[in-house]
Amino acid sequence: MKSFITLAALFGILSFTSASAIAEEPTSTLVAAPEEARSINSAAAPIISVLVGPNQQLIFDPPYINHVGQGQRIHFDFRAINHTFTESSFEKPCTKIPGAQFDTNFGNFNPDDIPNFKPFDITLESDKPRFFYCKQANRTPNSHCGKGMVFAINVDAWTFEQFQRNAAVDGLPKIKGRAPVVEEDEE
């Protein structure tokens, strides 16, 4: 917390400095300068980086982010195992939503685990909650999603935990009677 405050203070100083620098530059349109400074600052909002499957683990790291808004860029660095980044819902974490805006499919496989070999970037269009999963081996005992490989945007810790619990139900094979029923992954 202390270091966050320090960092926030530093950013405050930096943006103040750059805004002043821009405002003090000789320019023929003095009135427009502060507006310009503001848009430069918002475009420079730090990109959030998320690791997809670091160290052969079935996780997104961090697993969720909160308080991010329109225009926020998020960078997904796919690692080692063959994963996807696919949009779902809170209720059915391992089921692709109809008309999903994001689904990488299996095109980002990075078997040699080279940092940023095949990354995937998104830019948020709103501050609404969004839910995602890895669809590898879905509805089998090895379902990445069923084992908790889910990611959420604009949720708190409690909501994320519920979402991950829902994933264990949705991603692993459904048990009917004695035999597991393996369902087709929806496309």
Residues that bind ligand NAG (CB under 6 A): 82, 106, 109, 136
Can you say how many angstroms the Cα of residue 157 is from the centroid of all Cα atoms in its chain?
15
Q: For residues 130 and 144, which CB has a smaller minimum distance to ligand NAG in the complex?
A: 144
Q: For residues 127 and 185, which CB has a smaller minimum distance to ligand NAG in the complex?
A: 185
| Sequential DSSP letters for 64-117 | EE-S--TT-EEEEEE-SS----EEE-SS-TTSPPTT-S-B-TTTT--TT--TTS
Distances, alpha carbon 34 to alpha carbons 17, 26, 48, in Å: 13, 13, 26
Rounded least distance, CB 123 to ligand NAG, Å = 26
Q: Which residues contact 176 (CB under 8 A, 6 or more apart)?
A: none
Q: For residues 95 and 136, which CB has a smaller minimum distance to ligand NAG in the complex?
A: 136
**Is residue 113 exposed (0-12), middle (13-18) or buried (19+ Cβ within 10 Å)?**
middle
Rounded least distance, CB 134 to ligand NAG, Å = 10
Rounded least distance, CB 103 to ligand NAG, Å = 13
Rounded least distance, CB 90 to ligand NAG, Å = 25
Q: Could you give phi then psi for residue 103, rounded to 5 degrees? A: -155, 110
Rounded least distance, CB 176 to ligand NAG, Å = 24
Q: For residues 57 and 140, which CB has a smaller minimum distance to ligand NAG in the complex?
A: 140
d(CA 162, CA 106): 27
Q: For residues 17 and 105, which CB has a smaller minimum distance to ligand NAG in the complex?
A: 105
Q: Could you give phi then psi for residue 136, rounded to 5 degrees? A: -60, 130
